[in-house]
Amino acid sequence: MTDTGTDAQTQYVAGTVGDDVLTVHKLKATPNARGAATLEPVCPVPGAEPTQWLRAVNCADCLAVVG
């Protein structure tokens, strides 16, 4: 397992990436300068826009990451 590391401003949320709405990833939400969160999947997903969802994470690669 890999430790993703965290700090006081980093949170993790669930969401999908791109057009695949069935695979729910663990997304690292980091505040940006505008006060909004920048979302980035913790597993390697080709560059598509992440969208936060209120669903349980089901991506096996994301679930293997500690953090």
pLDDT score, position 67:
64
User: What tokens were used for 27?
Assistant: 């997304």
Q: 10-31, pLDDT tens digit by residue?
A: 799 999 999 999 999 999 999 8
d(CA 29, CA 55): 16
CB 25 within 8 A of CB 41: yes
Percent of the chain with pLDDT over 90: 61
pLDDT score, position 32:
83
Domain ranges of the chain: 2-66
- Label residue 1 by pLDDT band (50, 70, 90): very low
The model's pTM: 0.78
pLDDT score, position 33:
84
Strands (E), the chain: 2-3, 11-17, 20-31, 37-41, 50-53, 65-66
